[in-house]
Amino acid sequence: MSELHLPWLAASLVFSLLGAAWVACVRDPRLARQWSLIFSGLTLLTAVGAWLDFDLLATNEAIGYGHLQTQWFGREFFVIDRLSAPLLPLVALLHFLTALTTLNTKVRRFSFVSALISEAILLATICCREPWIVIGLLAAGTVRPYLDLRTRGQPTRVYVIYMAAYVLLMVAGWSIVEMEGQDQAHSLWAVVPLLVAVFIRSGIAPFHSWMLDLFDRSTLGSALLFVAPLTGAYAAVRLLLPIAPDWVLRSIGLVSLFTAVYAAGMALIQRDARRFFCFLFLSHSALVLVGLEMGTPRLSSPIGLTGGLCVWLSIGLSLGGFGLTLRALEARRGRLKLTEFQGLYEHTPTLAVCFLLTGLGSVGFPGTLGFVGTEMLIDGAVETYPYIGVAVVIAAALNGIAVVQAYFRLFTGTRYSSSVSLQIGERERFGVLLLAALILIGGIFPQQGILSRYRAAEELRQQHTEDANETTSSEPEQGHKH
């Protein structure tokens, strides 16, 4: 037991919930932002503490930090394992940066209270392995964007249809899984609802339309926080992959490959910056699912799975930063059209660099966080699907073109003349530099990050192998009974 072994996770949950309660009592929006920054900063620090404590000092086993939970409930619901350890600081960082880069002109529209609550829900989701609690938290996470749409007076029909289907399918699927018990291969009635639920939440074609609608109608910050941590991928890891048969896994891989290319192509032709970002995100989100599906016992590709987990982190950070840059630009120019040159480079060269860096980071450009992860993902995809796996390369190529095209659209052209200064503020500069530093340092020194994801991949594969063995060993017994 190390001296640093503190209830970091509990602290981060408490800070975000306490922060939400505190900020709710503050009337002045600017003061609310300041308090929100303090609490989300504390949450970030404790989340980083949880990660470091686990990664540097803990053993290979998943370790619970819930001594209080044990005392109160008799069991531990929230544990940190190798998969979730780095996702905690990622989620906390995205929330912190979103609060940090919210400009004075937008503080009234952005709800810091609900951001802190959704942060607590997300952190709890990532650290939970109990299927029903995961489902409950995933369902609770869908409320905030709905409230945001309502507050803005936007239609909620599309979002409600998709999210209701998502939650119902999860509940129905897992209910059937429980009814069938753990000692037999699960039927399609159990697997298919969970599969579709994962597809909906991850935005896999053709179940992705809600994300376009959300990005179109919601505030960019709240939509970003809802999708960037890739909660759908987490649902796949916890609910679907352990029980899905081989052909389902293959179909997940193939549909995700198709989505990666389709969304990359769609990103290329978009004329609205938000829709462009949404398709870019969908393409990357599908790539993560491709990687996750490759780590299952029968399609065993530890490299592909490691690549998928690396890409999960890198796109969380890169595309999170990319979205925040877009949000900063929108705060200056309103909704951005990609049909004309915006000429913003001279006003905000630092944002231009950040836009390019985060965009290229997401497509795995050399020297950035995603480079080695993308290479590994492609390696695994080509190994698992010798010909179709090339789709990952095509998707990466198209995404690269789309990112540079958007950069040219937004930052080049005749200098935009403005009566007010559009220069980057100090808080934004700090956010941009922090992101750039993380993306570049992670890219130049990738060993620790990749090793950590490899261990997470091994842990996941081990779990899947155990699950598969349990099912396989119980099947003859059943046959014997019949």
Partner 1 sequence: MPDSTNVMTALGLIVVAAPVLQFGILGGSSLIDRRLSERATMRLIQTATGAGLLAAVALLALMLPQSNPHVPIRLGNWVDIPHYHFSIKFVFDRLSVPFVILSYVLCGVISAFASNYMHREPGYNRFFVFYSLFLLGMVVTSLAGTIETLFAGWELVGLSSALLVAFFQERPAPVRNGLRVWSVYRVSDAALLIAALTLHHMTGEGDFDKLMGTASWPYGHASVAAREALAVGLLLLLAAAGKSALVPFSGWLPRAMEGPTPSSAVFYGALSVHLGAFLLLRVGPLLECSAALCAAVVALGLVTAFYAAVTARAQTDIKSALCFASLTQVGIIVAEIGFGLRYIPLIHILGHGCLRTLQFVRAPTLLQDYRQLENAIGDSLPRRSGFWERWLPERFRMWLYRFAIERGYLDACLNDYIAAPILRVFQWCDGLEQRWLRLLSGEPSDEAVSPGKSARSLDDLL
Which residues form the interface with partner 1 (CB under 8 A)? 155, 157-158, 161, 209, 212-213, 262, 265-266, 268-270, 302-303, 306, 341, 343, 345-346, 349-350, 353, 360, 365-367, 371-372, 375-376, 378-379, 382-383, 390, 393-394, 396-398, 400-401, 404-405, 408-409, 411-415, 429, 433, 436, 446-447, 450-451, 454
For residue 386, cis peptide bond before it (omega within 30 degrees of 0): no
Closer residue to partner 1 in complex, CB, 194/205 = 205
CB of 405 to partner 1, least distance (A): 6
63 versus 310: smaller Cβ distance to partner 1: 310
**What's the Cα-to-Cα distance from 248 to each of 173, 180, 199, rounded to whole Å?**
14, 18, 12
CB-nearer residue toward partner 1: 56 or 433 = 433
Least spacing, CB of residue 163 vs partner 1, in Å: 13
* Nearest residue (CB) to partner 1, 94 versus 435: 435
Of residues 105 and 447, the one with the C-beta less far from partner 1 = 447
What is the closest distance, in whole angstroms, from the C-beta atom of residue 362 to partner 1 in the complex?
14
| Residue 269 beta carbon to partner 1: minimum distance, rounded to whole angstroms | 5
Q: How far is the CB of 167 from partner 1 (least distance, A)?
A: 17
User: Closest distance between partner 1 and the C-beta of residue 262, in Å?
Assistant: 7
- Comparing CB distances to partner 1, the nearer of 386 and 479 is 386
Smallest gap from residue 162 Cβ to partner 1 (A): 9
Dihedrals φ, ψ of 334, to 5°?
Answer: 80, -170
Nearer to partner 1, 76 or 213 (CB): 213
- Count of residues in the chain: 482
